[in-house]
Amino acid sequence: MGKCLYCGQGAGFFRNKHNECEAKHLKGLSSIKQIIIDCFTHKEDFYLKDSEIRKIIHDSHINKTSLDNMFCSAFDEAIDGYLNDGIVDSAEEKTVARFIQYSGLSQSFLNANKSLEKVLQSKVLRDILSGNIPTPQITIAGDFPFLLNKSEHLVWLFRNITLYQQKIQREYVGRSRGVSVRVMKGVYYRTGGFKGHPVETTVMQKIGSGSVCLTDKHIYFASPEKSLKIPYSKILSIESYSNGIGLQKDGANDKPIFLEGINSWFAYNVVANYK
């Protein structure tokens, strides 16, 4: 006889849960998540809700793994809510810090979906908008392949970014005409010519993968295949996409580029405000 995953009591043959226990478990997780979201929204202290949360945990048979995953989901949702109406302000930052303390979760766990990184990036954007020198709270591990100017300040560093560049491909369509004249067995010489016309298509060609550095003056890219240094003043246009940003430099021979894997929300705002 199997035991229930939630209450630990017998669940019957070939069963591992009671339907009522599962329903109570899911309802409990939903209730706690709503409490956490409300605390974020109203900037309330999570510890004031601790006794209520603990009672739900006990009554709903919620284990630590389920609780931690729910905390992380609530955190992601709360940060998205903060960013929907602008950057994270100082009061919201304090609420985030209090939640980290209350949940006991590691920063790497909370940053599984880059939510904690967005909080830090939001603080950098606040500095930029206020006219202050950014103070990014980041640790640079490994090589730093960029030589910044003396008066230049680091804003953010991204790793594992893929660079694409626009390329024009040309092919000829039509048909060939002429007469085949046999020269020798298996070999033919074709007279006449290829009658057709060229068709051009635009593609984004992968150039390489490397690091992107944003400063208060330039955007840099470095990889074994190619390196770029683009002043913000030379950027003609910037487009934000779900998986990166597209840039067009102000130059007759400069082709559009796309940086895949970069946080488009943050990069767009940095470039737009410094430009």
One digit per residue, pLDDT tens: the chain, 275 residues? 677 776 877 666 767 777 888 888 999 999 999 999 999 999 999 999 999 999 999 999 899 999 999 999 999 999 999 998 888 999 999 999 999 999 999 999 999 999 999 999 999 999 999 899 888 877 676 778 888 888 899 999 999 999 999 887 766 666 555 555 555 555 554 555 555 666 767 788 999 999 999 999 999 999 999 999 999 999 999 999 989 999 999 877 888 999 999 999 999 999 999 98
Q: How far is CA 250 from CA 51, 212, 255, in A?
A: 60, 20, 9
- pLDDT value of position 41: 96
Rounded distance, CA 175 to CA 244, Å?
41
- pLDDT value of position 136: 80
Rounded distance, CA 256 to CA 187, Å?
46
For 113-136, what is each residue's pLDDT tens digit?
999 999 999 999 999 998 998 888
Half-sphere exposure (Cβ direction) of 63: Cα atoms closer than 13 Å? 6
SS3 63: coil
- pLDDT value of position 201: 74
Query: Environment class of residue 1 by beta-carbon count within 10 Å: exposed (0-12), middle (13-18) or buried (19+)?
Result: exposed
Of the candidates 3, 77, 4, 97, the residue with the CA atom closest to the CA atom of residue 34: 77
Q: With helix as H, strand as E and coil as C, how does 149-163 read?
A: CCCCCEEEEEEEEEE
Contact between 259 and 245 (Cβ < 8 Å): yes
Residue type, 74: A
Whole-structure pTM over 0.85, yes or no? no
- pLDDT value of position 5: 75
Q: List, in sequence order, every beta strand (DSSP E) within 178-266.
A: 180-184, 187-190, 193-215, 218-222, 227-231, 235-241, 244-249, 257-260
- pLDDT value of position 146: 86
- pLDDT value of position 113: 93
Phi/psi at 233 (nearest 5 deg)? -65, -20
Rounded distance, CA 96 to CA 100, Å?
6
- pLDDT value of position 140: 72
Contact between 207 and 180 (Cβ < 8 Å): no
Contact between 209 and 163 (Cβ < 8 Å): yes
Contact between 232 and 184 (Cβ < 8 Å): no
Phi/psi at 218 (nearest 5 deg)? -140, 165
- pLDDT value of position 163: 96
The b/e string for 185-214 (b: 16+ C-beta within 10 A; e otherwise) is: eeeeeeeeeeeeeeeeeeebeebbbbbbbb
Residue type, 86: G
Q: How far is CA 154 from CA 2, 137, 231, 232, 272, in A?
A: 58, 11, 14, 14, 16
- pLDDT value of position 190: 52
